[in-house]
Amino acid sequence: MKIAILSRGAANYTTRRLKEEALARGHQVKVINYSKCYMTIEKGNPVVYYKGKALSDFDAIIPRIAQSYTKYGCAVVRQFEMRDVYTTGKSIAINRSRDKLRAYQLLAKAGVGVPKTVFARETADLEDVIEKAGGAPLIVKVARGTHGNGVVLAETVKAAKAVMQAFYVEGVTFLVQEFVKESAGTDIRALVVGSQVVASIKRQSLDDDFRSNTHQGGIGKPVKLTPEEERTAVKAARAMGLPVCGVDMMRSERGPLVLEVNSSASIKTPELLSSRNVAAKIIEYIERNAKRQHRKDRVGA
């Protein structure tokens, strides 16, 4: 097969490993900086161009779209979809995973455990918002954010009000979320490929930071998931329509609670710590499903 990895960083660990495994399995691979692509839109002929050449003969794409390039990156992915190219992450699924409110709504509807969350923007009923989120301490986070950025722990009602008022003044849409004390400073990252978890790690903050994300200085170690946690991760991935993704969860007294489903999760820490060949699992998944889609297209034709 001919596979395109849509990534702005050819030297990025995940991009490099995916390319290595695809080449090792006999595929042709090209890393394409999607931010430098351009597209022509005309009747019956959606084309993506890169460095002056049409990208018209790929069998599959692996989108690695950065948060700050979501809109344009998804437009590029959608153009490939219009050409019936197989993708590990559809544009609509990537988009909805980046919108925290939409993601929580979809997860809750699918019966996936999530922290109690209140969504707000312009409201004077701050005390009622705080009460409905379970009271202080609580988490206030912007509706769009990644790597633990835009997330604040408000330890008192007064602090929570101040943070929400600041977001309100700046016109920022935010979520107010319960603080799960038994999971403070730790979470689980499960990498899902298809219908199974292929690697999982527990992330722990190094200091008093309540955020465990490794981008914020947290450390990770391999962890064995409970059957309920594995089912939750796979169910969350399915609810978001992302067969290849990272699912971040907290362990709580009422079971696993999903924090985020990441469409472009790094495989670096999970792969290195668990000694699992995650990249190979992703390429194997593409082999099975791209061929299946191609057969369906031929039958449909």
Above pLDDT 70, what percent of the chain? 90
Q: Helix or strand or coil: residue 102? A: helix
Q: Which two tokens stand for residue 147?
A: 């790597």
Reported confidence tier of residue 167, pLDDT bands at 50, 70, 90: confident
What is the per-residue pLDDT across 67-87, written as a single tens digit (0 to 9) for each?
999 999 999 999 999 999 999
Cα–Cα dist 246/8, whole Å: 19
Q: Is the pLDDT of residue 146 over 70?
A: no
pLDDT, residue 214, reads 47
Output the CA angle 141-175-212, nearest 5 degrees: 35
Q: Is the pLDDT of residue 53 over 50?
A: yes
* Strands (E) located in 205-254: 219-222, 244-252
Average pLDDT, the chain: 89
What is the arrangement of strands in the sheet containing 219-222, beginning at the earlier edge strand? Answer: 219-222, 196-204, 186-193, 244-252, 255-262
Cα–Cα dist 59/73, whole Å: 18
Chain position carrying tokens 């490993």: 17
Give the residue among 279, 257, 280 at the shortest CA–CA distance from 267. Answer: 279
Q: Is the pLDDT of residue 206 over 70?
A: no
Residue 282 and residue 62 in contact, taking contact as beta carbons nearer than 8 Å: yes
Q: Is the pLDDT of residue 217 over 60?
A: no
Residue of 41 and 205 predicted with greater confidence: 41
Domains, the chain: 2-89 (3.40.50.20), 96-112+183-280 (3.30.470.20), 117-179 (3.30.1490.20)
Q: Is the pLDDT of residue 147 over 60?
A: no
3-state helix, strand, coil in the chain (%, to 5): 40, 25, 35
Cα–Cα dist 75/170, whole Å: 28
User: What number of CA atoms fall less than 13 Å from residue 206's CA on the CB side?
Assistant: 7
